[in-house]
């Protein structure tokens, strides 16, 4: 009896088996695609999921591999948006008043009773009203109604007080009409900027600083004069950008790190560390990548379309959510920016158009940038609410829920007493 030289099992001889293998492969492929899309959507709906997933992957496959995954995912997302949204129109997110109001309307964020408005003398010193000059759209052909026009942000617990914060929106990217920069202008004559280190980040490797008691919450003594809060900078692993509070250095400064700091006389500064004078006079300081703008000039690296460094683990040209701080030439207006679908280059251009002379980028990615107000809830307790739609915020953020990462907050200055300095 002669046997075939290459016997084939009976199960593999017929087409049903091959069809079964094809169906299994097709199912696995479709399942992978569906799972990937679902995970991408979930990461952009659940604020803690993205950071948790990235951290878990770093421990398994390493930081460089996670960076590649992030850049690839954001690149694919941008390509999809440029295909699917190419016919979109720039959107406006609020109504811009046709004429100035003497008394701003109460904000929509207020959910409960507000505190009675204090007398004018208790609200602020006698100063000209804060009224930043509108600049209009960055590109006239690429604008929604109200682009570059400032709208007052009322204090949710002092609605009758003249606003010391104004908001505007800019569409800054010629290639992406859906890219947005939300900017808040803050009157530094009447408002103080404070910094709080996170319970976990940025981590320190300085032995003397390991026992430093991290606050991670807005001090209760500032709750009555609290105006707003917003995110801080990168995690320590993403660039080792410096951080100091008083005489304590948690992370050593980098000489090219763009540094936002508050001097003992109350003045704010934004500059590269090596160009700052009297750094021993800083009450606190926090660094980010090299200044995007200095003296009104864009950093040379941002002229390169392949620039890297303003996203830490994410390439500088990656289209992501970003945040930044800027000062005007007179150093009396602070600009706080949070963005959607922006590169580092267009973020710098948008803030330059607004009037910022010096700009430091803060944190990036979907979960971190945010600008928060604190209206009163139904019980009268202050709660955290995002000023802009689409930014995830928990009601207890920065007030009662300890912040794992550093952040900034804004309070009203105490009125200057008559005859005071």
Q: Are residues 368 and 234 in the same domain?
A: yes
Q: Are residues 265 and 172 in the same domain?
A: yes
Q: Are residues 145 and 46 in the same domain?
A: no
In a domain, 102, yes or no: no
Q: Are residues 27 and 164 in the same domain?
A: no
The C-alpha atoms of residue 164 and residue 333 are separated, in whole angstroms, by: 10
pLDDT top residue among 271 and 15:
271
- Count of structural domains, the chain: 2
Cβ neighbours, 10 Å, residue 38? 10
In a domain, 108, yes or no: no
- The band of 32, judged by pLDDT with boundaries at 50, 70 and 90, is low
DSSP 270-298: EEEGGG-S-GGGEEEEEEESSPSEETTEE
In a domain, 68, yes or no: yes
- The band of 112, judged by pLDDT with boundaries at 50, 70 and 90, is very low
Give the contacts of 419 (CB within 8 A, at least 6 positions apart): none
Q: Are residues 191 and 289 in the same domain?
A: yes
- The band of 25, judged by pLDDT with boundaries at 50, 70 and 90, is confident
Q: Are residues 209 and 313 in the same domain?
A: yes
Q: Tens digit of pLDDT for each residue in 236-265?
A: 988 899 999 999 999 999 999 999 999 999
Q: Tens digit of pLDDT for each residue in 135-152?
A: 999 999 999 999 999 999
In a domain, 273, yes or no: yes
Q: Are residues 50 and 183 in the same domain?
A: no
Of 64, 84, 104, the domain-final residue: 84
Mean pLDDT of the chain: 83
In a domain, 248, yes or no: yes
The C-alpha atoms of residue 239 and residue 290 are separated, in whole angstroms, by: 11
Q: Tens digit of pLDDT for each residue in 137-195?
A: 999 999 999 999 999 999 988 889 999 999 999 999 999 999 999 999 999 999 999 99
Tell whether the model's pLDDT for residue 109 goes beyond 60. Answer: no
Question: Domain residues for 47?
Answer: 16-84
Q: Are residues 280 and 388 in the same domain?
A: yes
Q: What is the pTM of this model?
A: 0.81
Q: Are residues 50 and 142 in the same domain?
A: no
Q: Are residues 227 and 334 in the same domain?
A: yes
In a domain, 393, yes or no: yes
Tell whether the model's pLDDT for residue 115 goes beyond 50. Answer: no
Q: Are residues 56 and 191 in the same domain?
A: no
Q: Are residues 39 and 141 in the same domain?
A: no
Cβ neighbours, 10 Å, residue 337? 26
């Amino acid at each position: 009896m002669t046997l075939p030289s290459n016997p084939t099992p009976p199960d593999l001889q017929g087409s049903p088996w091959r069809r079964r293998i094809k169906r299994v492969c097709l199912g696995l492929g479709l399942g992978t695609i569906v799972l990937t899309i679902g995970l991408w959507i979930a990461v952009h709906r659940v604020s803690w999921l993205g950071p948790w997933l990235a951290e878990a992957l770093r421990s398994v496959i390493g930081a460089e591999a996670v960076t590649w995954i992030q850049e690839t995912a954001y690149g694919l997302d941008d390509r999809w948006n440029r295909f699917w949204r190419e016919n979109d129109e720039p959107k406006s997110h609020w109504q811009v008043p046709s004429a100035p109001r003497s008394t701003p309307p109460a904000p929509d964020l207020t959910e409960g009773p507000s505190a009675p408005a204090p007398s004018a003398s208790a609200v602020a010193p006698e100063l000209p009203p804060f009224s930043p000059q509108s600049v209009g759209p960055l590109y006239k052909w690429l604008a929604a109604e109200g682009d570059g026009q400032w709208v007052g942000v009322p204090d949710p617990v002092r609605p009758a007080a003249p606003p010391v914060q104004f908001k505007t929106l800019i569409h800054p990217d010629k290639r992406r009409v859906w890219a947005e920069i939300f900017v808040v202008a803050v009157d530094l004559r009447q408002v103080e900027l404070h910094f709080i280190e996170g319970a976990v980040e940025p981590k320190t490797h300085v032995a003397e600083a390991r026992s430093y008691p991290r606050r991670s919450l807005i001090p209760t003594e500032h709750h009555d004069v609290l105006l707003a809060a917003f995110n801080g900078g990168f995690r320590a692993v993403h660039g080792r950008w410096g951080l100091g509070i008083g005489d304590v250095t948690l992370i050593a400064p980098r000489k090219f790190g763009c540094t936002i700091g508050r001097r003992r006389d109350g003045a704010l500064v934004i500059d590269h560390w090596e160009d700052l004078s009297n750094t021993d006079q800083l009450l606190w300081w926090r660094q980010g990548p090299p200044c995007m703008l200095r003296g009104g000039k864009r950093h040379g690296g941002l002229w390169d379309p392949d620039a890297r460094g303003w996203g830490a683990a994410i390439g500088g040209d990656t289209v992501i959510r970003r945040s930044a701080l800027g000062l005007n030439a007179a150093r009396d207006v602070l600009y706080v920016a949070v963005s959607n679908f922006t590169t580092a280059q267009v973020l710098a251009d948008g803030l330059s158009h607004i009037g910022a002379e010096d700009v430091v980028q803060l944190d990036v990615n979907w979960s971190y940038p945010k600008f928060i107000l604190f209206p009163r809830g139904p019980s009268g307790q202050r709660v955290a609410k995002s000023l802009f739609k689409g930014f995830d915020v928990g009601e207890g953020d920065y007030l009662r829920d300890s912040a794992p990462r550093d952040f900034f907050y804004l309070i009203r200055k105490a009125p200057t007493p008559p005859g005071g300095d």
